[in-house]
Structure 1
Amino acid sequence: MKFKGDSMSGVMELSVDWRGRPCKANKHGGMTAAVFVLGLQAFEMMAIAAVGNNLITYVFNEMHFPLSKSANIVTNFIGTVFLLSLVGGFLSDSYLGSFWTMLIFGFVELSGFILLCIQAHLPQLRPPHCDMVSDGENCLEAKGSKALIFFLALYVVALGSGCLKPNIVSLGADQFRRGDTEQSRRLSTYFNIAYFAFCMGELIALTLLVWVQTHSGMDVGFGVSAAAMAMGMISLISGTLLYRNKPPRGSIFTPIAQVFVAAITKRKQICPSNVQMLHGSQNQVPATSANVSNLLHTEKFRFLDKACIKIQDGEKESPWRLCTVTQVEQVKIIISVVPIFACTIIFNTILAQLQTFSVQQGSAMNTQIAKGFKIPPASLQSIPYIMLIFVVPLYETVFVPVARKVTGRSSGITPLQRVGIGLFIATFSMVAAALVEKKRRISDETVSIFWIAPQFLIFGLSEMFTAVGLIEFFYKQSLEGMQSFLTAMTYCSYSFGFYLSSILVSLVNRITSASSHSGWLSDNDLNKDRLDLFYWMLAGLSLVNFFNYLFWSSYYSDNPSLSPPRQNDESPEQDLENRGRETLKHMNGCSWK
């Protein structure tokens, strides 16, 4: 079913307002509506970043968990935030829609911040205060009801933030109709502006909010995070009347499961030589890439094509035995993006080190920058975001127009090229971290904290390429009704990266431990640990991962129906002719092997 009133290059697109009525092109959507979503993006990032980036300090100093355990608590928390994004994407696409999912889980996240504030404020909910250095084993870590309340608050925040994140991206992007070149340019611009809002939120969190946590206490800091989250919810609600909403379409997993069941059931069948004999095959190319309700057949993963074979003409088969070409191609897209997704896990494992061990690394350095003023170690993470609030606009206003003239693409370079550049740069972040840590360990004097700035700067630049490129890639590869879920896969990469960090810390400690000495990261003293060797190991893994990404990205190919809009020097007739060639290219029959 497609509503009138929201035409896009001659194709009617399903979008409704908050009441479920058809949208009006001159009233709903556009950058005006997206601004309210960007407001939530900035405030929510401000709130969660202030907690996540300095959480290790609170867990180690106030809750008295050992250093390696504290690092794992932080990485597991952040990993859970991003893993739960799959839940938010599923609920949005299948049952609630992006707006209502954001509204519900935004208040869930807000309640988690309030509970954290209460836990940090009341002494009876925390273990007795002590000095981890002088008191040693007398500092008992939080247990029982104290630990329960802490972890409950922490994971309520994780549930709310995780379910919110993919829908912020998808709701904002849904305000731009997918189709012609101009809309595609605005969509790419939106992704860059969204990252700029992310950087602003991070910057304020890592400077102002971390300073408040350090000087006024973590209870006040958590309270400020709650206030920031409340401001974000006000911004979201303020744009209610302007949003273009994609209504939910039922379970997104059922059609996927049907394809696998049907393909396995008909595994002994042979595909017809003519693709047009497959059930639901399209005889003509769509007039615009916005019409993604029907996908063209492709030759990859040809075993799945057996789900489209008709056994008996004229008789209706169960949807668990006979699927359309579009259903099958949808599953092929999901399978195709998995290797790309997997190649960004190591990248996010590096990010985990910058939010845990690098913060502790800064704590062991000279934080004095002026008489009577010391910089909080967590605030050093703000340095790349100071750089990025200037670099991101330059990327959009200078690099993209120049690259657009060379490549003819609305976004300048492809999302996959952008991801690859970021993955390559990330390796040098760990190289810089290893060199600085070695210098810190062998230096006779306390090294200035600004020596660890390069590792943050390099990674910040790599994140601008990788994070934005990955989100844009997943959103543009998604079909109607699956934008939030596929976008959530981006955040799952963060989740697996942080979980992998926890596994690596434990594994490295076990492998490097011996009877005569402890493991690289097993002590609570960085002067005894070998963090530099751990960083060198991550640099090597990152470089290997980059070459692995080059292989999979060169292997990946888009479905012709989801191909980018025409180049800026092509006429609509030329674009249609080119799409016709793509159709003929992909309609050469299917093999049974």
Structure 2
Amino acid sequence: MKVKGDSMSGFMEEVSVDWKGRPCRANKHGGMTAAVFVLGLQAFEMMAIAAVGNNLITYVFNEMHFPLSKSANIVTNFIGTVFLLSLVGGFISDSYLGSFRTMLVFGFVELSGFILLCIQAHLPQLRPPRCDMVSDGDHCEEANGYKAIILFLALYLVALGSGCLKPNIISLGADQFTKADSKQSKKLSTYFNTAYFAFCLGELVALTLLVWVQTHSGMDVGFGVSAAVMGIGMIGLISGTVFYRNKQPRGSIFTPIAQVFVAAIRKRKQICPSNVEMLHVSQRSAPNQAPNTPVNDGNLLHTNKFRFLDKACMKSQDGKTESPWRLCTVSQVEQVKIIISVVPIFGCTIIFNTILAQLQTFSVQQGSTMNAHTINGFKIPPASLQSIPYIMLIFLVPLYETLLVPLATKITGNDSGITPLQRVGVGLFVATFSMVSAAMVETKRRVSASHDHNNVTMSIFWIAPQFIIFGVSEMFTAVGLLEFFYKQSSEGMQSFLTAMTYCSYSFGFYLSSILVSFVNKITASSSHGGWLSENDLNKDRLDLFYWMLAALSLINFFNYVFWSTFFTYNPSLSAGAQHHEDPKARQGGLEAYDMI
């Protein structure tokens, strides 16, 4: 990549390159044509991993014979690790390999994990004996030793591959559009909605066709189909090589961040300047700038939040040259300010993803205790019930893009209809009602089971509303968060900041595991092991656990309203990528935008 300017100054003129490292041509590279290949991988990869993740609790409980609560934790820890490793993928991409090469490497890592899962599920000697083969009334043998090692090795190969793929799928697709161009900004927003449509399509196929294959043909065939689907996605990604606009890595993204904190600490005793001319900017940027106007250091304007960090870019009064660990640029400091600013927003989405964890674990087990037969006798796999919201969303997402966005744009003047933060807020509020529905249905299910002496009479479709409500919630929250993080990132940090979205999923699933263990501990008594300690939902109190999550979700929503109301955009990002720039931001002060 051809770069102009001092790399330490924070001022870089980005030139996208093709797969051979040559500057891209507008009529050949980028745009939706290139993004389609990336969206194809998004759909196929989601089919592959969703078919495994959404029905994994059935495999580890029935085939590997782990207890129910431990099985739920294995699933949530696996999915949590997938999303946590997205930070690794974002770092490797932005710092060393670039999005496309990172996707090639880790796509094949994920494929190898699916193949290993298929082999274990196919060979009986790699799994514990079936329960019906255990004699003398002994309990089923739990997977241990090399059998457990193979299981966890396969799962975490999938986790490593998928985790490192996810942020780069989003960022490589988004890189095909010019973020600073107002016309491209609308296309970028459309891309995020299309990416979510591909996600929904992949989930739908996984939860219907692929889960059906797992149920009726065996988990070995199901895992094999996941491997084949992943292979098709990788072939599609490689097929688009000649069309991609690629942004080259710039070295470690953590070094400039660390330099800001070190320089600010070293100059902590100095007083922050009131005159912005005392701040260090690249000599190539902001020529002939009027005094006391916002400093534009290549990409990012100076703002007045977190003023203590401004000490990192205070020039020495004696005019001596200082090292990058004592003097940083305005652009470096502002990027760190952005990262700090988005942390509360990030934190407010963790409870949302904890709710998602319940729908992929306990709700699946909830469905397995209910009547899964339809009128014509067809039996619905419990995991397939999660497909209901995605059936609805593959119609709702296009309607949102074609009808609701233009209507909202006329009202708000925003190219995306509503801002990403407003979209996230709507989703967080709606998610609460998913747990309310789940708690009410579980109460009814327990009463029905006790009256009918454990005969399964209550239809599995009673738990459909909790999935539908959460699906609508996810359409707002997930897409809004992806768009928010991508648009808040400056050049060279798109993959890493996008990875923070997936990291929220990770923390949500880990929190789920912690909550299950914590709730069991504090609700245990001498006669009962806790709300979720039994392997029988008719004896557990899953309904009370759901009510607790509903309360936490509502509290979390009000917490989000607080933080999002006081969040401020960097004006250089909000002008080109978010919505029309606030005139007050041009006059030296950055005023808060109302998000909710």
Shorter-chain-normalised TM-score: which range? over 0.9
Partner of residue 554, structure 2: 543
1:534 has 2:535 as partner? no
Partner of residue 375, structure 2: 370
The Cα of 1:517 is off from its aligned counterpart by: 1.6
CA distance in structure 2 between the aligned counterparts of 1:297 and 1:283, rounded to whole angstroms: 12
The Cα of 1:84 is off from its aligned counterpart by: 0.3
> Which one of 431, 437, 444 corresponds to residue 432 of structure 1?
437
Q: Which amino acid aligns with 1:438?
A: T
Partner of residue 80, structure 2: 79
Task: Encode CA deviations 1:441-499: one digit per residue, 9 max, x unaligned.
Answer: 00134210000000000000000000000000000000100000000000000000000
Evaluate the alpha carbon distance shift between residue 566 and residue 476 of structure 1 in structure 2; reply closer, same or farther with a 3 A threshold. closer
> Which one of 497, 500, 524 corresponds to residue 486 of structure 1?
497
Evaluate the alpha carbon distance shift between residue 87 and residue 359 of structure 1 in structure 2; reply closer, same or farther with a 3 A threshold. same
Partner of residue 32, structure 2: 31
Partner of residue 246, structure 1: 247
CA distance in structure 2 between the aligned counterparts of 1:323 and 1:12, rounded to whole angstroms: 18
Q: Which amino acid aligns with 1:267?
A: R
The Cα of 1:136 is off from its aligned counterpart by: 7.0
> Which one of 347, 354, 367 corresponds to residue 359 of structure 2?
354
Task: Encode CA deviations 1:493-518: one digit per residue, 9 max, x unaligned.
Answer: 00000000000000000000011222
Q: Which amino acid aligns with 2:62?
A: N
Partner of residue 164, structure 2: 163
CA RMSD in angstroms comes to 2.1
CA distance in structure 1 between the aligned counterparts of 2:89 and 2:405, rounded to whole angstroms: 32
Evaluate the alpha carbon distance shift between residue 136 and residue 511 of structure 1 in structure 2; reply closer, same or farther with a 3 A threshold. farther
Q: Percent same amino acid among aligned pairs?
A: 81
The Cα of 1:2 is off from its aligned counterpart by: 5.1
1:202 has 2:203 as partner? yes
The Cα of 1:13 is off from its aligned counterpart by: 3.6
The Cα of 1:580 is off from its aligned counterpart by: 6.7
Evaluate the alpha carbon distance shift between residue 480 and residue 567 of structure 1 in structure 2; reply closer, same or farther with a 3 A threshold. closer
Name which of structure 1's ranges 302-311 and 502-511 shifts more when overlaid on structure 2: 302-311
Partner of residue 8, structure 1: none
**Stretches of structure 2 lacking an aligned partner (at least 5 in a row):** 5-11, 290-295, 592-596
CA distance in structure 1 between the aligned counterparts of 2:577 and 2:399, rounded to whole angstroms: 25
Task: Encode CA deviations 1:362-391: one digit per residue, 9 max, x unaligned.
Answer: 000000113442000000000000000010
CA distance in structure 2 between the aligned counterparts of 1:250 and 1:314, rounded to whole angstroms: 29
The Cα of 1:567 is off from its aligned counterpart by: 10
Q: Which amino acid aligns with 1:96?
A: L
Evaluate the alpha carbon distance shift between residue 134 and residue 364 of structure 1 in structure 2; reply closer, same or farther with a 3 A threshold. farther
Conserved? CA contact 2:348–2:560, under 8 Å: yes
CA distance in structure 2 between the aligned counterparts of 1:132 and 1:509, rounded to whole angstroms: 32
Partner of residue 7, structure 1: none
Conserved? CA contact 1:416–1:473, under 8 Å: yes
Listed as ranges, the matches of 1:224-263 within 5 Å are 224-263=225-264
Conserved? CA contact 2:297–2:330, under 8 Å: no
CA distance in structure 2 between the aligned counterparts of 1:280 and 1:584, rounded to whole angstroms: 19
Partner of residue 536, structure 2: 525
Give the TM-score normalised by structure 2: 0.93
CA distance in structure 2 between the aligned counterparts of 1:24 and 1:566, rounded to whole angstroms: 22
Conserved? CA contact 1:252–1:482, under 8 Å: yes
CA distance in structure 2 between the aligned counterparts of 1:79 and 1:33, rounded to whole angstroms: 30
CA distance in structure 2 between the aligned counterparts of 1:386 and 1:396, rounded to whole angstroms: 17
Task: Encode CA deviations 1:288-326: one digit per residue, 9 max, x unaligned.
Answer: xxx984311111111001111122443210100011111
Runs of 4+ in 1 over 4 A off after TM superposition: 1-4, 131-137, 281-286, 578-581
1:582 has 2:588 as partner? no
Aligned length: 570
CA distance in structure 1 between the aligned counterparts of 2:366 and 2:352, rounded to whole angstroms: 20
CA distance in structure 2 between the aligned counterparts of 1:309 and 1:125, rounded to whole angstroms: 63
Partner SS, residue 370 of structure 1: coil
Partner SS, residue 533 of structure 1: helix
The Cα of 1:181 is off from its aligned counterpart by: 2.2
CA distance in structure 2 between the aligned counterparts of 1:226 and 1:421, rounded to whole angstroms: 36
Partner of residue 177, structure 2: 176
**Stretches of structure 1 lacking an aligned partner (at least 5 in a row):** 5-10, 569-574, 589-593
The Cα of 1:118 is off from its aligned counterpart by: 0.2
CA distance in structure 2 between the aligned counterparts of 1:344 and 1:292, rounded to whole angstroms: 32
Partner of residue 147, structure 1: 148
Partner SS, residue 131 of structure 2: coil
CA distance in structure 1 between the aligned counterparts of 2:583 and 2:444, rounded to whole angstroms: 60
Partner of residue 58, structure 1: 59
Partner SS, residue 154 of structure 1: helix
CA distance in structure 1 between the aligned counterparts of 2:387 and 2:134, rounded to whole angstroms: 28
1:500 has 2:500 as partner? no
Partner of residue 421, structure 2: 416
CA distance in structure 2 between the aligned counterparts of 1:14 and 1:136, rounded to whole angstroms: 69
